[in-house]
Amino acid sequence: MSQNYWSESFKNLIDQRFNELARAASLVEEVRILRDKQAEIEAKLKQAGTCFPN
């Protein structure tokens, strides 16, 4: 097989892995945002005097 084939195959593998990692990073950021929002809501509920177990 030609070197060009291997170069293109290797590039495709790297691109695929990069996309997978980018997606995982996006999900982590989404979870962080949701946790921040949850903490904000819990704090408001506690301020309002609502019993909210941890």
Given a contact cutoff of 8 angstroms between Cβ atoms, the answer to whether 43 and 49 are in contact is no
Tell me: pLDDT of 4 over 60: yes
Tell me: pLDDT of 1 over 90: no
- From the CB of residue 11, how many other CB atoms can be counted at a distance below 10 Å? 10
Q: What would the pLDDT profile of 9-45 be if each residue is shown by its tens digit?
A: 999 999 999 999 999 999 999 999 999 999 999 999 9
pLDDT at 3: 73
pLDDT at 6: 79
For residues 16 and 10, give the distance between their C-alpha atoms in angstroms, rounded to a whole number.
10
For residues 27 and 39, give the distance between their C-alpha atoms in angstroms, rounded to a whole number.
18
Tell me: pLDDT of 51 over 80: no
